[in-house]
């Protein structure tokens, strides 16, 4: 009985020592996993932040483009209503050139950057879902971007047609009225694109909020896991203390 008591006491001491190592190890592991999760989620979060900034720029240039198209329509109506003067035609040609080389050209460049970043962020989020199970991704943004692409192609066709006319072509009968009609069509496309870009921005904000929620959930899950593991380890340590005490009693009886 004495030998059994010694063995029980030794096992109890060993168990307590092991538990004393397990508790800090749990919290070190929790800290390591938390830092890893934060690093993983920081990548799409940074990309979303940049994409939102580019989206704001695109919205701003859409507003500039709409104002320029409105100026083209006003000048085209003036030429169409007559009398046709060289100065009026020159003003219309200048307005068209200013639109093509100014707001619209910049808008095209900014949107290309927005499209690239939005697609890259979408792919990054999809990859993150496999690494961080608590991350729920928003619906894909591809359909929205394709709708914008289709609208911009329509605008491109009108812009190319207007840019090729020049003052001589604009002075021909009926051309100014056609320009005014095309300007109305471009305005409608720009208005629709503005709404679609707003949807892309809403998607970016929603995705960023989902990333933030995943970060908070990961922190809570890891903290609860560490607390639960600590409680269980302390319970096991308590059992080992009881085992040690029982072993002492057995060894005394022997």
Residue 154, exposed/middle/buried by CB under 10 A (0-12, 13-18, 19+)? middle
Give dist(CA 254, CA 251) in Å, integer.
Answer: 5
Radius of gyration in angstroms for the set of CA atoms belonging to the chain, rounded to a whole number: 35
Give residue 134's pLDDT: 62
Give residue 139's pLDDT: 61
Give residue 196's pLDDT: 92
Domain ranges of the chain: 2-253
Give dist(CA 45, CA 104) in Å, integer.
Answer: 29
Residue range 110-140, pLDDT digits in tens? 999 999 888 888 888 877 776 666 666 656 6
Give residue 219's pLDDT: 87
Give residue 211's pLDDT: 85
pTM for this model (two decimals):
0.77
Give residue 131's pLDDT: 66
* Residues lower than pLDDT 50 in the chain: none
Give dist(CA 147, CA 99) in Å, integer.
Answer: 23
């Amino acid at each position: 009985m004495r030998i059994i008591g010694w063995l029980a006491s030794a096992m109890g001491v060993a168990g307590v020592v092991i538990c004393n190592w397990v508790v800090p190890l749990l919290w070190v592991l929790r800290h390591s996993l938390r830092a890893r999760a934060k690093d993983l989620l920081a990548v799409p979060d940074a990309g979303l932040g940049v994409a939102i900034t580019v989206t704001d720029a695109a919205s701003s240039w859409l507003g500039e483009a709409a104002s320029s198209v409105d100026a083209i329509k006003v000048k085209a109506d003036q030429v169409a209503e007559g009398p046709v003067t060289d100065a009026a035609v020159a003003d219309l040609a200048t307005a068209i050139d200013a639109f093509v080389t100014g707001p619209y050209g910049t808008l095209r460049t900014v949107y290309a950057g927005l499209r690239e970043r939005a697609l890259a962020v979408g792919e990054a989020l999809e990859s993150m879902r496999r690494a961080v199970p608590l991350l729920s991704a928003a619906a894909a943004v591809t359909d929205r971007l394709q709708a914008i692409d289709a609208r911009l192609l329509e605008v491109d066709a009108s812009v190319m047609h207007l840019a090729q006319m020049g003052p001589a072509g604009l002075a021909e009968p009926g051309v100014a009225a056609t320009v005014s009609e095309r300007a109305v069509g471009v305005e409608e496309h720009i208005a629709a694109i503005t709404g679609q870009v707003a949807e892309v921005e809403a998607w970016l904000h929603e995705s960023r909020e989902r990333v933030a929620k995943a970060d908070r959930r990961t922190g809570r899950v890891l903290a609860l896991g560490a607390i639960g593991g600590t409680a269980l380890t302390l319970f096991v340590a308590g059992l080992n203390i009881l085992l040690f005490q029982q072993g002492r009693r057995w060894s005394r009886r022997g």
